Structure 1
Amino acid sequence: MIITLPDTSTHEITKNLLKTQEDYSMATGRVLTLIVVADADDDIEAILAPVREASREHPSRVLVVLGAPESEPARLDAKMLFLGDSGSSETVIMTLHGPMANHPAEIVTPLMLPDTPIVAWWPTTAPANPSEHPIGAMAQRRITNARHNVSGNALLRVSSGYTPGDSDMMWSRITSWRGIVASALDRPPHDEILRAQLIGPADNPSVDIAAGWLADRLGVPVERAATNDDIEDHFPIRKLTITRASGEVTIETRGTRTIKVGVPGHPEALVAMDPRSDTDCLAEELRYLDADQAYACALTGLGRVVVR
């Protein structure tokens, strides 16, 4: 169900939210308020798709704030999505025109659920310091998406502007891969680790954050090398080589959904691993609302990575 409210107010939006809940006996068991910050020119359906799917695990009130600062005069247009059009959430899409685009916090505050966590997500371009953004200052968790904002040094932006509670989907994209790495290193022989090398596309920040994670956790020299290809449907970390006294542990991408693992003294193993979508990453980020200490340590480890 879709309700369109052109040139409206937060009072009218709230009234329609309550009326729809009463008329359709909608459950109000929302677990958080998710505020999505984007631009009016972004692909809104591409942004809403992962939100809709992630809501099946995390029923939320979703407030989508779209800035259109060049429009005049100041005006608030809203579209409200319920039931099948919004997954397990209720979604309010608000386009802020003119000077109103500079005051998003004042617009969303009357619409937030009381006594629930607040999460902010920038699916495309994010501010240099999310915690200082008017929306980010209200949120317990702030999620950015450096893979969709690679102009300039996106990795430098997220590391220099880090505040506890920040996270980026480049980190959740490698969760399954990190589990494979940990499993390979748990297998004997458990001798000394000397160094590590990662190979992946030069402009993919997931490769860089993986290198930072290894530098922090292993405490050895880590080299990050670039490939000449950037095949979108392949996992970005093409190959990891960890050198131990007994030989090399290798974790290498084979095709689109297979990882080959080689450990000295053991037969090679093939592990299935699907590429992680924005839906997978967003759902994972919403499971943990405390500060992600492992992510913070990985950002710290970036300073010890050698780039070739």
Structure 2
Amino acid sequence: MTTLWDTTGSAVVKALGAERRAAGALAFGLALTLVVVVDEKNVAAAESAATAAAAAHPCRLLIVVRRQIDAPHPRLDAEVSIGGRLGPGEAIVMRMYGRLALHAESVVLPLLASDAPVVTWWYDEPPTRIAFDPLGVFADRRVTDVAAAPDPVAALRLRAADFAPGDTDLAWTRISGWRTLLAAAFDGRQDRPTAASIEADPADPSAQLFAGWLRARLGVPVEVAASGSHRGVHGLHAVHVTVEDGEIAVTRVDTRSGTITRPGVPERRLPLAQLGLGDLLAEELRRIDDDSVYADALATWSGIPDLSGRSGHREHVWRDPMMETAPTQAPPAAPAPSGS
């Protein structure tokens, strides 16, 4: 591991080259570049999640810590390692001070793995507009987590208003297991559902996206309503779909499993794990292409049509957070979601 204090971007590039030569690392072994944007207070948690994801997907891990933007002098401290505490791959942790933190791309761009896709993940509250952050503009995939925002549902509406193909959110990844089990419950059935309901906190963005997905796929009204205590299990509790001869339901039993019930079929218990942050990120890194199913669910929930038909090209919109009097450029307001 090489630690550089008050250094420059070119010195970091040279240090990475030296570490790679010493470790015998080969560039073609990298599947992608993962850029992580995080505040200092959450660095340990972000490193842990990114390391777990990088173990499943060989990548160059670039962790950008925007620290003390109001510092009077720009400064860069960096830690460069291969096969160190951040896993077996290549990793660089960069702490940026002062105005340099507002131009992080000037350091990050030369460090991107050659001919490999780029994924940017914001650990903390996502930006109001992705175009405000050049670290998102040059990325092929952009991963946010509205659950980190003070009002997750309002943040999800912003993600819909600002959406471009290549965007995704971990609120969507958290319902992958639910969608898989519910789709399996419909195997062999030809009847058409008439209604659906979800047991969850209406303020849970994952529940709202689940409702959007159900409405987009089934074309039926979907209600999201709070339910009683579920032995400390957080998140979604159950989904019920009304069919001609009764009800199809998926119900969480505990943090690891759930049950499927169907008319005339014995109840089955199947895995339905609540994934940790690293596993959620690894799941998103499985695909680099646009997630049109997520776009359809978000469009149906938000009421903004044809999100997947938008251009995937973004242009950087400069906004200086140091200028308190500068006007805020917000995305167009999204209509209130119907049936949520």
- State if a TM-score over 0.5 links the two structures: yes
Cα separation, 1, equivalents of 2:266 and 2:178: 19
> What is residue 148 of structure 2 aligned with on the other side?
148
* TM-score, with length taken from structure 1: 0.93
For residue 187 of structure 1, report the CA deviation from its aligned partner.
4.0
Unaligned runs of 5+ in 1: none
For residue 226 of structure 1, report the CA deviation from its aligned partner.
2.2
> What is residue 161 of structure 1 aligned with on the other side?
162
For residue 201 of structure 1, report the CA deviation from its aligned partner.
2.1
* Aligned-CA RMSD value: 1.8
Q: Secondary structure at the match of 1:77?
A: strand
What percent identity do the matched residue pairs reach?
A: 33
What does 1:95-134 align with in structure 2 at a 5 Å threshold? 95-134=95-134
Q: Aligned residues, how many?
A: 303
Runs of 4+ in 1 over 4 A off after TM superposition: 228-231
Cα separation, 2, equivalents of 1:258 and 1:21: 43
Cα separation, 2, equivalents of 1:145 and 1:163: 16
Letter of the structure 2 residue corresponding to residue 279 of structure 1: G
Cα separation, 2, equivalents of 1:239 and 1:150: 25
Cα separation, 1, equivalents of 2:131 and 2:243: 41
For residue 211 of structure 1, report the CA deviation from its aligned partner.
0.7
Alignment partner of 1:91 is 2:67: no
For residue 47 of structure 1, report the CA deviation from its aligned partner.
0.3
Cα separation, 2, equivalents of 1:145 and 1:229: 25
Q: Secondary structure at the match of 1:203?
A: coil
Q: Deviations over 1:232-257 (max 9, x none)?
A: x6252111110112111111111222
> What is residue 9 of structure 1 aligned with on the other side?
8
Letter of the structure 2 residue corresponding to residue 172 of structure 1: T
> What is residue 180 of structure 1 aligned with on the other side?
181
User: Quick check: 2:141–2:167 contact (8 Å CA) kept in 1?
Assistant: yes
Q: Secondary structure at the match of 1:26?
A: coil
* TM-score, with length taken from structure 2: 0.84
User: Quick check: 2:129–2:162 contact (8 Å CA) kept in 1?
Assistant: yes
> What is residue 339 of structure 2 aligned with on the other side?
306
> What is residue 56 of structure 1 aligned with on the other side?
55
Letter of the structure 1 residue corresponding to residue 298 of structure 2: L
Letter of the structure 1 residue corresponding to residue 174 of structure 2: R
Letter of the structure 2 residue corresponding to residue 213 of structure 1: W
For residue 220 of structure 1, report the CA deviation from its aligned partner.
0.7
Unaligned runs of 5+ in 2: 304-336
Residues 1:230 and 1:253: Cα distance change in structure 2 (over 3 Å):
closer
Letter of the structure 2 residue corresponding to residue 19 of structure 1: A
Cα separation, 1, equivalents of 2:48 and 2:31: 19
What does 1:127-276 align with in structure 2 at a 5 Å threshold? 127-151=127-151, 153-188=154-189, 190-227=190-227, 234=233, 236-276=235-275
For residue 178 of structure 1, report the CA deviation from its aligned partner.
0.6
